Structure 1
Amino acid sequence: MSDNRIFGTHRPWEDWLGMLLGVLIMVSPWFPMQVSDAIDVERSHLVLNSFVVGMLVLGLAQLEYVALHRWQEVASIVLGLWLIVSPFLFGYAADQGLQLWHILLGAMVAGIGALQLWQDWNLSEQELAQHSQ
């Protein structure tokens, strides 16, 4: 039963993990295990995608830490799913290192968002507002 209490309440470490994931997503095109040596102009769209998605994940996690709303958790799930499918939509699925990172990081963002949404599903707006206190 104690396991349910650990995952049954929205905790601040979940928001901090979201912030860390946002930063990791932003710098993911430059992770050392990438196949290609440099990011050229043809691949600038994946850098832009990584930066924008990472900034949004970071910003949503910061908002959740300060003032919790359900739409933030839904947006985190959508961003995680977007990051998972972006290698196939933008055509960098051949870069298996970056594809793996984006699938892993996207799954973690979507998973944390789904966990937080589940935790906060039955809370009233007043209880959500007390999250940051």
Structure 2
Amino acid sequence: MATFDRTGWGLIEHRRWEDIVTMVLGAAILVSPMFGETTGNTTMVAATAIVGAAIVILGGLEQIFLRRWEEFLLLLGGVWMMASPFVLEYAGTLRNWHIALGAAVAALALLQLWQDRNRDLED
């Protein structure tokens, strides 16, 4: 798939499947509190919803405009999802899911950053 370059006039080659997988992972993060024990932890639910929605939006933006800052934000979102069970102090299967989903988002962001290392992209 082609994506607009930084001027908006030319097209550059971009792997669309990575953005789709990113959006699916973000959607999984977004709905994950519905499948775990969340009673009394509204902070975790709100943080998960915000990060999940941000990952979905960033994945969609990457399909249109390819920018490095989107991938850095995805990396931060993935790292936050891995750290959130320890910072917000929750456990159970939801903790394991958030660590796994966060690791997948972070790994995909690192892959995209590595693939784009030689491209002349706007930071």
TM-score range, shorter chain: 0.7 to 0.9
Q: Report if aligned partners of 2:27, 2:52 keep a CA contact under 8 Å in 1.
A: yes
Q: Report if aligned partners of 1:10, 1:119 keep a CA contact under 8 Å in 2.
A: no
- 1:10 CA drift (Å): 4.3
Unpaired stretches in structure 2, ≥5 consecutive residues:
1-12
**Which structure's residues are more often strand, by fraction?**
2
Return the alpha-carbon distance in structure 1 between the equivalents of residues 94 and 115 of structure 2: 31
1:109 to 101, 105, 111: 105
RMSD: 1.5
Unpaired stretches in structure 1, ≥5 consecutive residues:
1-8, 127-133
Structure ranking higher on relative contact order (CA contacts 8 Å, 6+ apart)? 1
The count of aligned residue pairs is: 110
Larger Rg: 1
Identity of aligned residues (%): 41
Residue 20 of structure 2 corresponds to 16
Residue 44 of structure 1 corresponds to 42
Provide the TM-score with structure 2 as the length reference.
0.84
Q: Report if aligned partners of 1:83, 1:106 keep a CA contact under 8 Å in 2.
A: yes
After TM superposition, the structure 1 = structure 2 runs for residues 1-133 of structure 1, keeping only pairs within 5 Å, are: 10-31=14-35, 34=36, 36=37, 39-40=38-39, 42-92=40-90, 95-125=91-121
**Which structure's residues are more often helix, by fraction?**
1
Q: Which runs of 4+ in 1 moved over 4 A?
A: none
